Structure 1
């Protein structure tokens, strides 16, 4: 079962000033966001990456490119960047570009907060559709990575806060209405492994922890088959 790293893009000026950027073109990483992406790249320098897939917006592509600029070896170079439209930010419709403090006074804000599965942004997308397209993308890429690189492969999907929260809610077995309980900070890493029976959520919203444990173990002549069983008693780690 490959290891999926869900990476949120680094901070932008819109994040810092509380504006809902959505799919607005030209929203780049700010100075802090570039530093966050560079720091994450260093933390992942020793982790071999089989694929790096990103939402096509500027801030996600810039974050992905920062990750690809560090690490890799002559035997295992970093892969080429792949853009995936299904990892795009939610289409917030007429809410796009407006301050969050202003949007919080809109009647629909309460639906987004308390009943996200019923949230359809005015002139935009529903959060149900966001979750469905993102899950389809990560599942398909995960299966491809396993077929091409094996069950020990590590790969990255760089996306946006609400998109990653929706994927994590599914992996945690939560209804979409609970996804607002999940926190995904800029340049954070959340880790999921998909198995035939269930996903395993390995970590969430990691912004500074040691990532060396993500390095695949040395191959052995005989390997135990990938299991969907959870460890009983907590297990001893990977």
Structure 2
């Protein structure tokens, strides 16, 4: 079956502002995010890509543009099922402010039970993303052969939930996974089980340096939405 390359969008204006963007309009790549996107063609130069699928949100389409410009004839197809989690009333709010919400403890410790007010559950988010990948696997296999590689550009929580599914992890453990902006995660699917080939690969080591506490509500908490990455 097909090999899937998952690219998280580059750093966005919401990431640097410490906001939970969700589907809030007007969120785009910041200067660093644009530079990250510009590096994608070289990073993936040796990888034959049969198809490209994107979240419909602007920051993902912007991230893909340099890669698509470098490969004429490769056009992205959008799929709302790999769009960001619908955070509902949390969308557009400061992460530092949300850290004090009682629901945040559920999001961190028991995400399979988390339902965002006015939005969707994290369980539903994962289900739609997994359904999308399974359907695209079949489509790419049928159109390009079982050795084909295709790419999806999506969001932090979506990619983490897909990795959890590939590893057979319960959704309650997915907050242990982290993917940086514009990082590459690769999963090879087979008839009997998936294999995780790369996880959050940026080709950089700066993201391993200690950071201040601005991105995290408490030690051990994950950054909802994915975080801004290395400074």
> Is 1:130 equivalent to 2:122 in the alignment?
no
- Asked whether the equivalents of residues 49 and 78 of structure 1 are also in contact (C-alpha less than 8 Å), the reply is no
Equivalent pairs, count: 204
> Is 1:66 equivalent to 2:66 in the alignment?
yes
Following TM superposition, by how much is the alpha carbon of 1:22 offset from its aligned partner in structure 2, in angstroms?
Answer: 0.6
- Asked whether the equivalents of residues 50 and 78 of structure 1 are also in contact (C-alpha less than 8 Å), the reply is no
| Greater Rg by CA | 1
> Is 1:24 equivalent to 2:19 in the alignment?
no
Distance 2:110 2:44 in 1: 36
Distance 2:22 2:176 in 1: 20
Q: Secondary structure at the match of 2:181?
A: coil
When normalised by structure 1's length, the TM-score is 0.83
Distance 1:58 1:45 in 2: 24
Distance 2:27 2:17 in 1: 13
Residue of structure 2 in register with 1:48 after alignment:
48
Distance 2:27 2:19 in 1: 11
Unaligned runs of 5+ in 1: 210-238
Unaligned runs of 5+ in 2: 205-231
Residue of structure 1 in register with 2:209 after alignment:
none
After superposing on structure 2, the runs of 4+ consecutive aligned residues of structure 1 that deviate more than 4 Å are none
Distance 2:123 2:64 in 1: 26
Candidates 162, 165, 174, aligned match of 1:170:
165
Following TM superposition, by how much is the alpha carbon of 1:142 offset from its aligned partner in structure 2, in angstroms?
Answer: 1.1
Q: Secondary structure at the match of 1:157?
A: strand
Following TM superposition, by how much is the alpha carbon of 1:66 offset from its aligned partner in structure 2, in angstroms?
Answer: 2.2
Q: Secondary structure at the match of 1:180?
A: helix
Q: Secondary structure at the match of 1:123?
A: coil
- Pairwise CA RMSD of aligned residues? 1.1
Residue of structure 2 in register with 1:36 after alignment:
36
Q: Secondary structure at the match of 2:39?
A: helix
